[in-house]
Structure 1
Amino acid sequence: MPADLAVIGLGHHGLPLAQAATAAGIDTIGYDTDPHAVAELAAGRSPVDGSLTVPEIRRMLSGGFRPTANPAELGRVRTAVLCAPTPLGPDHALDLGAVTDAARALAARLRPHTTVLLESPVPPGTTEGLLRDLLEEGSGLRAGRDFHLAYSPGRLDPGSRTHGFAGTPKVIGGLTPACTEAAAAFYGRLTDKVVRARGPREAETVKLLETNFRHVNIALVNEMAVLCHELGVDLWDVIRCAETKPFGFQAFRPGPGVGGHGVPVDTVGAHRPLRLVELAGQVNERMPQYVVQRAATLLNEHGKSARGARVLLLGITYKPDLPDRQGSPADEIARRLMDLGAAVSYHDPHVPDWRVRELPVPRADSLYEAAAHADLTVLLQHHRTYDLQGLAVKAQLLLDTRGATPTGTAHRL
């Protein structure tokens, strides 16, 4: 059955795109190579990363969305959007293996006049280089002549109630002006504003800049957190005051580490490394160790050793109010605490089961009871359901890595 759109890759990025398209009345299929994930979606169940809820998935299905693991379906669409994951490889470069596989699956079935869009984070030059070559070789068609090809960086804020798909401008860069306009025509049905970049390389570099901007600024406030603790300065008050400046400043806040799917890229192919991004990565990667150091110091100051101490970790996801644990610092923090001999348990309303080093971590059923029993409670993620005022009263000792507790009720990062 023909469709207007195929979203290739049904992860944290592809699914919300398919949701927006289905809601806009676009006949959409979702292709993924994982038959189990496809079956779960087809049955109306939410993905493990919590990118969409069960009611949202069911509304998509009732609106005509069709998840499939059959690549033959890709040969009957007008527009195809590649949303394959590109994690960091061991060389700290983006791994394009999934993008390559997706491109080959599409190329074998690509028809003339199709619009092909790439949204995965990729090094600049990928769209008009690797992707174009794969599509042309596999289809016998020419990009820019027989089919349209463009890049548009993904800009979703998972779980956000204020930054939805329609209200977030889409940047697009086509191989040719006609490619750009074909992409604009498609995205114009989903978003209120389309921004045309000069070409695919510029659009690809937008994603690079936006992701690295976040990580560099988080690294700055993480370093400030360490400095301010040593100086006896309340960094959270400093940020509160600084963000009143109406120009030249954007508030970022420290934390136990940087999670999420948008990974910083400090080197792009054979080009020179981005030294500031590289340094920011080193700063952010040290934060879990710093949290454990602060935890051990707090215990020691209260006459307890980390060895044998009962430590309760609150919120182990990378973002509040979502079950997604991609890149969460909780795993490393738990490992380091265990290495010190601490007895680690956790509480998270969104994560029913957690394993560290292939071993189950005990899950607390009653938050207040667990906090009262623990020698130290560490807030790693501030979920909306947490009553931090009540928690501060119940906990024997509370370390807040998010600056979310009322002033004076806990030790802050």
Structure 2
Amino acid sequence: MMVQAFLDRISDKSARIGVIGLGYVGLPLALACLRAGFRVTGYDIDAAKIEALTAERSYLPHIPVDGLGAQIAAGDFLPTDRIADLGTADAVLICVPTPLTPERDPDLRYVRDTAAALAPVLNPGALVVLESTTYPGTTDEVLRPILEETGRTVGTDLFLAFAPEREDPGNAHYSIGRIPKVVGGVDEASGKLAVALYNAVLEKVVPVSSAATAEAVKITENVFRAVNIALVNELKVIYGAMDIDVWEVIEAASTKPFGYMPFYPGPGLGGHCIPIDPFYLAWKARSVGQSTRFIELAGEINRAMPDYVIDRLREAVDRQSGKGLNGADILLIGMAYKKNVADQRESPALTILEKLRAAGAKAGFHDPWIPEILPSREFGALAGCKSETLTAERLAAADAVLIVTDHDDVEYGLIAEHARLVVDTRNAMRARGLEGTHIVAA
């Protein structure tokens, strides 16, 4: 009876959807549910986010919230920092961080804490869906026991599934509604309800046989990217030693219409998924007696790229001025982990900036998307550092400009004209037709 009642509420759009975590994943998801005609409760522990949404102000530059005030006034959207407000939700979608511990093991405290806080207020017959990327087995082995501590049973009066987020912040072509959604339940009924929910919100749903399979799908996607980026990063180093331009190689190889997919080198991996997820799989693999040698080697290569970039920068500065990095004025372009997003999480730019300062360089940055470096566990000393204004005078004063993140809204022509030395890790200059003896690749 609970299954059919849920399906009926999804069908007639009378269901209320709860979203926990209103960040890069949760906020677009909540807005997609609203656009689909559902009433939504958006929960986040950060009161500043709730205040911003209530004032119809977006804290994510690529996610507009125009018109949200009217939906709040009508009762269609409730932004809240009170977990009890999720007690009226028919489905709750969990979008919380899944970082690593300092020992690079899975850190599931946010998932556990969320489940423990949510369990006592859940509606009978509610569907809970975890969207946070994690290792296969998390939904069933970690989330399920916590939710069932209240005396409910998954598959009877509580339903549980995993549907991994596939967000690509800054990608205007693939918004959340257009990205196929993989969905797997911990049992048949849970899978059926989750598929029905997402079918009512998104263009395409891809059902799989279990939550563990859905978890494996997501982690496979990110391991695939990490390994291939490591490969092309290693090729960059090899071809660089041969005085071969890896970017030209990739461009030519990309003309092959089959059997090849281009990946691009860079200064290292960043973001909330690709640098982290391989460690989740490696940890889980060890628990079942398996090794992940290939994946771990890829991680070593990618983690070595900031040092490779700094070495190339040091060589270029030494050739240009004979002074090395100690005392050199270095201006980084970009602090975000990828272009056109305001997200510094796991950004290789943070590592590079910290290491340059440790080497004695006077290092600052310009980033139109990140006005100030936010506090973080690993880079606490950089917190509060502010983006510098990009001017002809600032560029001319720098011993070198290091392009780490290739945002579209950077004045690359100004850089080419006024910088004495440009070290480009992203092919940003040549891609815009800007070349010269003072522009080198790294």
Q: In the alignment, which residue of structure 1 is the partner of 2:127?
A: 115
Partner of 1:339: 358
Contact 2:185–2:191 (CA under 8 A) maintained in structure 1: yes
Alignment-derived partner of residue 265 in structure 1: 278
1:36 aligns with 2:48: yes
State which of 20, 37, 41 in structure 1 corresponds to 2:32: 20
Give the C-alpha shift of residue 116 in structure 1. 1.2
Which whole-Å CA distance do the structure 1 matches of 2:69 and 2:364 have between them? 34
Runs of 4+ in 1 over 6 A off after TM superposition: none
Measured at CA, do residues 36 and 385 of structure 1 come closer, stay the same or move farther in structure 2, by a change above 3 Å? closer
Task: Give deviations 1:78-121, integer Å, cap 9, x for gaps.
Answer: 11111111101123222111111111122111222211111111
Number of the residue aligned with 1:79: 91
Change (3 A) 1:164 1:341: same
- Distance in 1 of aligned mates of 2:144 and 2:68: 33
**Is 1:283 matched with 2:301?**
yes
Residues 133, 277 of structure 2: 8 Å contact kept: no
SS at match of 1:67: strand
Q: Matched residues in 2 for 1:354 and 1:199: separation?
A: 40
What percent of counterpart residues are identical?
38
The equivalent position to 2:63 in structure 1, one of 39, 52, 55, is 52
- The DSSP-based 3-state class of the residue aligned with 1:286 is helix
AA partner of residue 260 (structure 2) = F
2:164 maps to what in 1? 153
Deviates more, 1:32-41 or 1:59-68: 59-68
Structure 2 residues not aligned, in runs of 5+:
1-13
Distance 1:26 1:237, change over 3 A: same
The answer to whether the 8 A contact 2:370-2:387 is kept is no
Matched, 1:234 2:245: yes
Mapped pair 1:393 → 2:417: yes
Shift of 1:6: 0.4
CA RMSD of aligned residues (A): 2.0
Q: How far off its partner does 1:38 sit?
A: 2.3
1-side partners of 2:251 and 2:134: how far apart? 36
| Structure-2 separation of matches of 1:196 and 1:41 | 33
User: 1:44 Cα deviation (Å)?
Assistant: 2.8
The Cα of 1:310 is off from its aligned counterpart by 1.1
Pair 1:312-2:323 in alignment: no
Residue 400 of structure 2: aligned partner? 376
Q: Which moved more, 1:28-37 or 1:357-366?
A: 357-366
Whole-angstrom CA distance in 2 between matches of 1:81 and 1:194: 16
Q: CA deviation at 1:219?
A: 0.7
Please give the TM-score of this superposition, normalised by the length of structure 2: 0.88
Note if contact 1:256-1:329 (Cα within 8 Å) is conserved in structure 2. Answer: yes
Taking the aligned partners of 1:258 and 1:336, their CA distance within structure 2 comes to 16
Aligned residues: 410
CA distance in 1, matches of 2:18, 2:89: 6
Q: Which runs of 5+ in 1 are unaligned?
A: none
Rounded Cα–Cα distance in structure 2 between residues aligned with 1:62 and 1:298: 58
- Tell me the amino acid that sits aligned with residue 76 of structure 1: T
Deviates more, 1:326-335 or 1:348-357: 348-357
Deviation at 1:60, TM superposition (A): 6.5
Offset at 1:360? 5.2
State the SS of the aligned residue for 2:277: coil
Which has more helix, going by share of residues?
2
Q: Distance in 2 between matches of 1:309 and 1:53?
A: 40
Give, as a single letter, the amino acid of the residue that structure 1 aligns with 2:426.
Answer: R
SS in 2 for 1:265: helix
Correspondent of 1:201 among 188, 196, 212: 212
Distance 1:43 1:396, change over 3 A: same
Equivalent runs, 1:136-175 vs 2, <5 Å: 136-138=148-150, 140-175=151-186
Shift of 1:329: 1.0
Q: Alpha-carbon deviations, 1:350-382, whole Å to 9, x = none? A: 222237625754643233332122110011111
Q: How has the CA–CA distance of structure 1 residues 326 and 60 changed in structure 2, closer, same or farther, with 3 Å as cutoff?
A: farther
Check the 8 A contact 1:316/1:380 in 2, yes or no.
yes
**Do the aligned residues in 1 keep the contact of 2:373 with 2:382 (CA within 8 Å)?**
no
The corresponding residue for 1:68 is 80
